[in-house]
């Protein structure tokens, strides 16, 4: 049984969630690993629902990731089954068989081919997933699904998360109102190598799978792929985006259709909202850190530098200790192998420039920076002075809490 963890001091409140026409969800306690809490989630979608997905780039992915990559080729979805507590990773043929049996059991209930059932698992690696507990729970869960099951689903996919994560946006396509709503889970083993956790988003927009995929791939670049908690990429992560078509908006003629402008903006904002909730629930986190790099030789170079800063244990522990140790930022810039010139570099914290042109700013007063470091949202800016490249990443501080949680994760 997992230990009860205190809620993160950075916890985001759960928004008021509505419905997404064409989606029904629910959660149940299947006893997969946890006691006294839900751990199995199902979502079912009306016929005609299209789907897009992005997955972990880990070379050791879980069986559900492989299953979803294959299912995604069809471009349509009728159901999603997610379990918490067991990742179904490194379980050999048993893991593959669990996916097949689970998908077939859900497909029978949803009235669709098993190839239209998507699967996700999160939790401990290397333990065989008790398939029988899932298949035994599915009929009752199927019967209880409701359009209002979003909060239950958000809670049911949690592992070391300390608060449920959900977001909603209302927008339009061609003048027709549409809604986008999503949930996510993630707290540790988080690094930008898409994906970095589990997230499931649905909309009632009518969009072809190819357009949906292009939008999702684009949107994850500045959201889920721009956050890191501990530099570790999970074996199980994915983001799936479902479009039921119930809004009956005008037909979209490709991803560059001007009618998609508002929808694209709303989707990107929702993805970032969910990604930042993962950072704010970083295991043991007490502060959110925003790192912005400008003046790099390219956006790609800026991204590498931003990640080097975000992943640095020395930077993260300095923030945890509320120490405005800008030298650790300089260290992280210098170590990552990207173009940098000590005598052009500028470092700012909390909007105060501390060092530039190779030395500390003349007359630098640390007082406002110290005050900034005591807050919950820390801003670090680096200008390399070399070009137009820029990137932004988000991370959290590194505290004793991270060790406490991960030192006892399997117990």
| Crossing angle of the two packed helices 326-335 and 313-320, in degrees rounded to 10 | 170
Structural contact between residues 339 and 301, judged by C-beta atoms closer than 8 angstroms: yes
- Give burial (CB, 10 Å; 0-12/13-18/19+) of 202: buried
Structural contact between residues 256 and 142, judged by C-beta atoms closer than 8 angstroms: no
* CB contact set of 91 (below 8 Å; sequence gap of 6+): 63, 98, 126, 127, 128, 129
Helix (H, G, I), strand (E, B) or coil at 77: coil
Phi, psi of 4 (to 5 degrees): -80, 125
Q: Is 50 annotated as a binding residue?
A: no
Helix (H, G, I), strand (E, B) or coil at 377: strand
Q: Is 131 annotated as a binding residue?
A: no
Which entry of 56, 162, 196, 395 is annotated as an active-site residue? 196
* CB contact set of 199 (below 8 Å; sequence gap of 6+): 182, 183, 184, 185, 186, 224, 238, 239, 240, 271, 274
Residue with tokens 């592992």, as numbered in its chain: 159
In DSSP terms, which residues pair with 117 in a beta bridge? 79
- Give burial (CB, 10 Å; 0-12/13-18/19+) of 130: middle
Rounded to whole angstroms, the Cα distance separating 195 from 186 reads 11
Q: Is 160 annotated as a binding residue?
A: no
CA nearest 49: which of 278, 204, 257? 204
Q: How many other C-beta atoms are found inside a 10 Å radius of the C-beta of residue 44?
A: 24
Does the active-site annotation cover 392?
no
Q: Is 297 annotated as a binding residue?
A: no
CA nearest 208: which of 251, 260, 264, 261? 251
Helices (H) and strands (E) in the chain, counts: 11, 15
Q: Is 196 annotated as a binding residue?
A: yes
Sign (positive/negative) of CA torsion 84, 85, 88, 90? positive
Largest CA distance in the chain: 72
Q: Is 148 annotated as a binding residue?
A: no
Binding-site positions for substrate: 159, 185, 196, 283, 406, 411
Task: List active site positions.
Answer: 196
Binding-site positions: 159, 185, 196, 283, 406, 411
């Amino acid at each position: 049984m997992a230990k009860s963890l205190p809620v993160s001091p950075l916890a985001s409140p759960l928004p008021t969630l509505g419905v997404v026409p064409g989606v029904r969800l629910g959660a149940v306690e299947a006893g997969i690993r946890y006691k006294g809490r839900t751990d199995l989630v199902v979502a079912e979608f009306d016929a005609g629902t299209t789907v897009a997905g992005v997955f972990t780039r880990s070379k050791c992915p879980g069986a559900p990731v492989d299953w979803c990559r294959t299912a995604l080729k069809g471009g349509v979805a009728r159901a999603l089954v997610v379990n918490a507590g067991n990742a179904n990773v490194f379980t050999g043929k048993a893991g593959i068989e669990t996916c097949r049996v689970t998908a077939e059991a859900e497909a029978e209930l949803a009235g669709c081919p098993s190839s239209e059932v998507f699967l996700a698992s999160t939790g401990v690696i290397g333990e065989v997933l008790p398939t029988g507990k899932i298949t035994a729970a599915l009929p009752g869960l199927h019967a209880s699904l409701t359009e209002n099951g979003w909060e239950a689903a958000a809670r049911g996919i949690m592992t070391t998360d300390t608060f449920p994560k959900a977001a909603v946006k209302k927008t339009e396509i061609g003048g027709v109102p549409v809604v986008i709503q999503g949930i996510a889970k993630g707290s540790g083993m988080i690094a930008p190598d898409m994906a970095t956790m589990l997230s499931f988003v649905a909309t009632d927009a009518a969009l072809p799978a190819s357009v949906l995929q292009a939008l999702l791939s684009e949107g994850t670049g500045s959201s889920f792929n721009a956050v890191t908690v501990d530099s570790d990429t999970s074996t199980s992560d994915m983001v799936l985006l479902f479009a039921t078509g119930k809004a009956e908006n005008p037909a979209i003629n490709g991803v560059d259709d001007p009618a998609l402008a508002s929808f694209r903006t709303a989707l990107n904002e929702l993805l970032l909202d969910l990604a930042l909730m993962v950072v704010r629930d970083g295991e043991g986190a007490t502060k959110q850190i925003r790192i912005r790099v400008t003046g790099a030789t390219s956006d790609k170079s800026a991204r590498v530098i931003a990640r080097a800063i975000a992943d640095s244990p020395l930077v993260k522990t300095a923030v945890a200790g509320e120490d405005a140790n800008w030298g650790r930022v300089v260290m992280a810039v210098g170590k990552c192998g990207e173009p940098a010139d000590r005598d052009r570099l500028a470092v700012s914290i909390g909007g105060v420039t501390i060092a530039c042109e190779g030395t500390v700013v003349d007359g630098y007063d640390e007082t406002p920076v110290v005050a900034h470091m005591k807050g919950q949202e820390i801003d670090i800016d680096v200008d390399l002075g070399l070009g137009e490249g820029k990137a932004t990443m988000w991370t959290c501080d590194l505290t004793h809490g991270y060790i406490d949680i991960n030192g006892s994760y399997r117990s």
